[in-house]
Chains A and B, each alone.
Chain A
Amino acid sequence: AQKITQTQPGMFVQEKEAVTLDCTYDTSDPSYGLFWYKQPSSGEMIFLIYQGSYDQQNATEGRYSLNFQKARKSANLVISASQLGDSAMYFCAMREGGSSNTGKLIFGQGTTLQVKP
């Protein structure tokens, strides 16, 4: 069965510094997608970045980059130049591919990030 693990319940980072949020996954499907979402205290889920299992390069979106290490089954999120508005809960999620794919996402436990001024 597929599984997503985020081992950091909470993280602190100083404003303008970079921070890495950890995510490991487990699946037997060779085709899958990995997503990161941000959830501020207001509750909405904001899509940040996507990495496909067959992508050769690590995904980047502005200040967000994904450190994809396929052999280790890890997909860590790196946020550069942290801002106060980055304080939120962050979720790693996986969607399996293949013919039986329903498109559903399985989420990790989440990491609460607090950016200190």
Chain B
Amino acid sequence: GAVVSQHPSRVICKSGTSVKIECRSLDFQATTMFWYRQFPKKSLMLMATSNEGSKATYEQGVEKDKFLINHASLTLSTLTVTSAHPEDSSFYICSASVSQGNQPQHFGDGTRLSIL
């Protein structure tokens, strides 16, 4: 079964709305989670690394004030797209890993965000 749960799976909302996406590790504690963005038929682009109890580390070119990340517990990270516009429409997917080394990152099922 899924070890990382992402919710909601699909969001359609009006321009100017803020949208919150949740990523939960179901049966393990994740001090680090990752948020990716993916355009159709393109690769996953890392947006930020979410660190439990501290500020997220954003990749170059990603607006911190636009994409707010909160990692308040060892099993939950949230991504809030603030004042969303049509160009924010995309597939957002989170991941977490139990530990380093050869352990794979487990991904949520992703969220399809459509801004009208």
Name the segment of A12-20, A77-85, A96-104 touching the other chain: A96-104
B95 contacts across to A, CB distance below 8 A: 45, 105
Name the segment of B12-20, B38-46, B69-77 touching the other chain: B38-46
A74: interface (CB < 8 Å): no
Main secondary structure of the interface of B (DSSP, over half): strand
Interface residues on A, range: 20 to 34
B25: interface (CB < 8 Å): no
Name the segment of A22-30, A63-71, A106-114 touching the other chain: A106-114
Q: How far is the CA of A12 from the CA of B106 in the complex (A)?
A: 28
Is there an interface contact between B49 and A50, defined as CB atoms closer than 8 Å? no
Is there an interface contact between A43 and B109, defined as CB atoms closer than 8 Å? yes
Is there an interface contact between B102 and A103, defined as CB atoms closer than 8 Å? no
Is there an interface contact between B49 and A43, defined as CB atoms closer than 8 Å? no
A97 contacts across to B, CB distance below 8 A: 100-101
Residues of B54-102 whose CB lies within 8 A of A:
57, 91, 93, 95, 97, 100-102
B residues adjacent to A (C-beta < 8 A): 32, 34, 41-46, 49, 57, 91, 93, 95, 97, 100-102, 104-107, 109-110, 112
16 extra interface residue pairs, beta carbon distance < 8 Å, beyond A43-B110, A47-B104, A110-B43: A43-B112, A45-B93, A45-B95, A47-B106, A91-B44, A97-B101, A103-B97, A104-B46, A105-B44, A106-B46, A107-B43, A107-B44, A108-B43, A109-B42, A109-B43, A110-B41
30 residue pairs from A and B, CB less than 8 Å apart: A35-B105, A43-B109, A43-B110, A44-B109, A44-B110, A45-B93, A45-B110, A47-B104, A47-B106, A50-B104, A89-B41, A91-B43, A91-B44, A97-B101, A101-B100, A102-B49, A102-B57, A103-B32, A103-B34, A103-B49, A103-B97, A103-B105, A104-B46, A106-B46, A107-B43, A107-B44, A108-B43, A109-B42, A110-B41, A110-B42
A residues adjacent to B (C-beta < 8 A): 33, 35, 37, 42-45, 47, 50, 52, 89, 91, 95, 97, 101-110, 112
